[in-house]
Every structure is written in structure tokens, then in C-alpha cells.
Structure 1
């Protein structure tokens, strides 16, 4: 029996099933009326959540030496149980996989999944025609049937290469209704909450700039608004929050470290809150931002991957300068007094995001290209 669309993702864990790895695979299966498969390496199967089991399954290849894994994988795919394969990231291993998969007659989709900074770094190394590595890399980019990136700026950056004119597509990350089961009631008022989500304290997230901005806000300046930090916090960031509360005890009840949340809890934060705040230095197309926008949150973000697309070129959100403490402080003050245009247009944002980033439509583009 054919498995239809198969994804190879060696280090799969349960969290990936709600990210692009799992959701794109499920969407390809849904559109093509098959059950997609994600192949990974390890000891235990990764359990598919109940709402996705009719679209997706996982297969764990038993542990062993790296070469044994690859031999198992190629034998499994060669046996005729798949007709197309999705690979993630432009790695040496994936280029080798792509070569053999095409040799076996399978169609290959390579999802680059790059940040703008990473894409810029790669293109600098590719621009030297005299380097053997550059020539090999660009040759291998001709192997997959379709290659996609998520961000418009990255698409412009890569479009200059010869392989890109034939292979490269702009396909942003998207969302499935099955993965976002919480319903929205627009008649229920939202909480005065700014949500910050992700790996709190990670260098690229730049979360400490929020604390620096809050220090500039006068006493009582937050009113009843609260800042919810959602995600696992590093020891260093937790300590910074503790020091902040010592300095600003008047804001002790306004700063909430929510910790790691399960799927239902984080979606509830997005459904009930008003704003998602992103202060990152660098980021690929943010799935947290996509989920928040899917539930109507106003996006206030630095210009990192995918944000301009999610906000319809910032008409449904606001672009924050990188690391500008004063600007961020003034923005928060404007939020508190309700001086942000379009902040409460939740239904309009939901309509835009679900129409533009619904994965069924995006998956159809991939399937049509693979079969053309």
C-alpha cells in the first residue's frame, strides 16, 4: 500500500507535529486524501495527537549507526510505499537523500526553513563561482523537484540563482483547523494581556528589552494590563525578572511567568489575549506568531521572518525597531491608553490570516507542482 507523501525528519519529537513538519505533512495527506507519514530515527514512536491521526502517522527506524539508518531509510522508500518525499533544511545529508530519491523515481520537496540571517550567510558563500563547495551546492539545488522558502525577503535574495528560476517557490508556513480546535467567540471581551511566547532568555529572542522598556514606564502606567511570558525560561532570564520586580514592585502583579504550557493552554493565551509581542533579533517564519494571528492577536514585532506577511505588510500589526527600548516603552504606553489603530480588529485579522495561511491551499500548490 502506498504511503503517499512521506517526510524525513530524523530528530522528530512530539512538539514538531504541531509545527511545520507535522502540519505540512498532514495538509498534504488531507488534500490528496491519503495518510502522510513522517519517518524519524530513534527508539520510540512519536505519538500523533488524536486530532491528526486520520491525516498523519509516524514511523521510527530502529537505532543503529548513521549509515545503517540511511540504508534502512532508502530501502523503505525504494520499496514503493511512497511517491513523494519532503526534506527540511539545505544540509549535505538531505542533498544525498534527494539524489537517491530521484534515482528511485520519487518526487522531492525541499523546504528550506531559513532565517534571513542564515540565508544571507549562505548566499555569500554561494556567490563565489571558483569555490568547489559553491559549485557543488548549486548543482545539488537542481536535484529536488520543488524548493520553497517562507519569507518574501529570503525569496528575493535567492531568486538570483539559476536553480531558483525553475525550482524556488514562496510558500509561507500555514495552519490547519484540525490543529487549532479552540473556537473564538467575538462577543466575549478579550483580556488586557500582552503575550510573549517562546524560549525565554534565548539570545536571539531578546526578551530582556521588554523589562528595560517597562522600567521607563511611570508608576501606574500599565493600569490593569499584564505581560504574560509563556514558555520555558532560562535561569538567567528568571533572575532578571526577579531583579526587575525588586526594582519595580508596583509592577509585580503585571509580570507573569506562565512557564511551559501545553497545546490547549497556549492557544487559550492567544485566543484570550490582545497582543503578541516579538522582540527577536533574528527568527525564521514564526509559528507562534502564526498561531497568535490565527486567533486574532495584534502582532507587534521586529521585522523578522514572516511578520510582514502575517500583518499584510504591517497594515494589521506594527513594526518595532530592533532593540529600541524607548520606542518599545512608548508603544506599551499607547497600548494601555488604547491609542493603537486596529488593535481591536480581531475578526478582521482572523479572516485575513485564515484565508491567506490556510494549509490546504498551500499544500495544493506543492502537490500541483510535484505532479506537473
Structure 2
């Protein structure tokens, strides 16, 4: 019998109170896997990579190499995707065009252009924290100008994605529907206390800010207690909720970009239109088009999880490296960014990785 919300709240309150680039020390690792037989997902990814060819794969490798080599001061920089335009003359021209359209004086436009060009000229090795104030001023203006015709569509991976991540991680369990039904609950208004609606769905990989790791860990612990006492429906229910926070960390907009120049989480950065448009793209392509959902339903691999909190952080480390590229493309081409092959490719890699982590989290709880 499923526990009521009062039981859930008391349990969680008590617990809270009482391979691209994988960090070397992890509590969740694919290296521990003994069975890495290629599943349909891996075969699909390899087919895409073959289509990309050597030149395309080199572009991916160069991008990831750049991301790995960025100084911390750049990784933590507000609107780092705007600084990343230094690598692409076309993107620079688009950004300068946005400034031309600002409703400010010619003198101010000149100042913004000179300041941004200076950032690009010094990217990435000569950026300092003194640049943060300028980026915090200009970044929102660039984003507003680029996306002024777009309405907020809602911040979440998408209900079906959360449900699929949880359901297919259960490996055919008779209780999988309980996990599926609960997985999108944290996105329901009123599920969390005011002030935590966005913070708990975030973990900044570079500032180490956000509530997602703790929430994932708390509900995973609750699920273990139910499983140990034979209450498997309740165990799967809480796994579904725990899965939500782990899955959120696999979205690049949930692992970077919502922290201000002094390291504070800011909700209006998290709820940006860049963020919303990207998640709408995922929603529209979950069951068709890029068909991201198939990379979840066909996944049979897992990443061993020994610490749910660390697993969230590790998943965020993975997804955050794709933020700059995706943010830049959404900002430059809000109508057509989904047609860029690397937006699709980087997204499906994050989806695949998140599916693997969910399998590992399920095994951690149920065994």
C-alpha cells in the first residue's frame, strides 16, 4: 500500500536532518561494469558517429578537449556560453548584431561591443573574475534580445522523460509503474517547499551549488527502507522520485548556468528562455524526430552507484561540459538550433548516460 504524503514528508525530513570526461574519483563508475556488451543504444550511437566521420568526431574531440582544459575561472563564469562564442566567428557576428538592436545609446552599444570583443580576445586563458560583472550585465541583455519573441514553456526535462528514465530502469519489475507514476511528482507545484522548487532540481558542476544530490540521496534512502521491509510498491515509488533528481542532473541546463558571479543560485537564471526552449526541443523529440526516448527504452547498460548523492554530481559533471555549445546554438538560432547535428548528438549522449545512472541507482536501492 502506498504511503500517504505525510509519511513521505516525515521520512524525508528525518533523513535530511539526522564516457567523455569522467572524474577520477567517483562513487558511480562504468569501469566497475563487467558486462559492457553493446546494446541497441550503443549501436545507434556508433552508427551516428560513423555518419559524422573522422572530421565530425574530431570536432567533438576538440570541443571536449577545450572544455576539459578550461580554467576554473572560465567554467564558473556567468554566461560562459557567451564567452564561448570566441571560438566561432559566425556566433560572434550574431552576438554583435544583437547588441546593435539594444535599446540603448550608441555610446553604450560601443561599450558593450568593445567589452565583449575584449573577452573574446582573452578567451580562454586570460579571463579573470573581474570579467564576471560585465558578463552578468551583458549576458541577460543578449539572451533577452535573442529570445524576446519566445514565451516561457516550463522548466523540466519533460514528464515523459522522467517517467521513462524511472520505468525502464526497473528492468521489467512488476512494480515499475509505481516508479513511473512518481517520477514526475517533483515537478508538480506544491511538491516542494517554496524557494526549493528550482534549487532542488539543480547541481552546478563547477560551483557545487544545488539541492539535487541531497534530494536524490534522501529518497533513495527511503526507498531502501521500504525495500528492506518488503514494501516494494513504496520502494519503487520513492525510487521514482529519487530518479527525478538524478535525471535532472543529466540536463546541461540543470548542471550549469544558474549561478551568479559570487556563486549564488538564482532562479531567474535557471528559468531562462534558453533553458525552456531546449527542454521544449527534448519534449518534441522524445518519441519522434531525434527520438531521444528510444535511447532510454533500449538501454540495457548501467553505471554502478554506491552513493546516490555522488552519482548526481558525477552525472552533472558529465552533462555540464555540453552546456556552452548548446546554450550558444539556442541563443543564436532559437528557431532552428535543433537542426544542428551536435545539439542532437550531445543531447542523446546525456540521455544515454542518465539512463545508465538510473539503472545503477535502481540496483543500488533494490539489492
Normalised by the shorter chain, which TM-score bucket? Answer: under 0.3
Q: Which has the higher contact order (CA 8 A, sep 6+)?
A: 2
Larger Rg: 1
The alignment's TM-score, normalised by the length of structure 1, stands at 0.25
More strand by share: 1
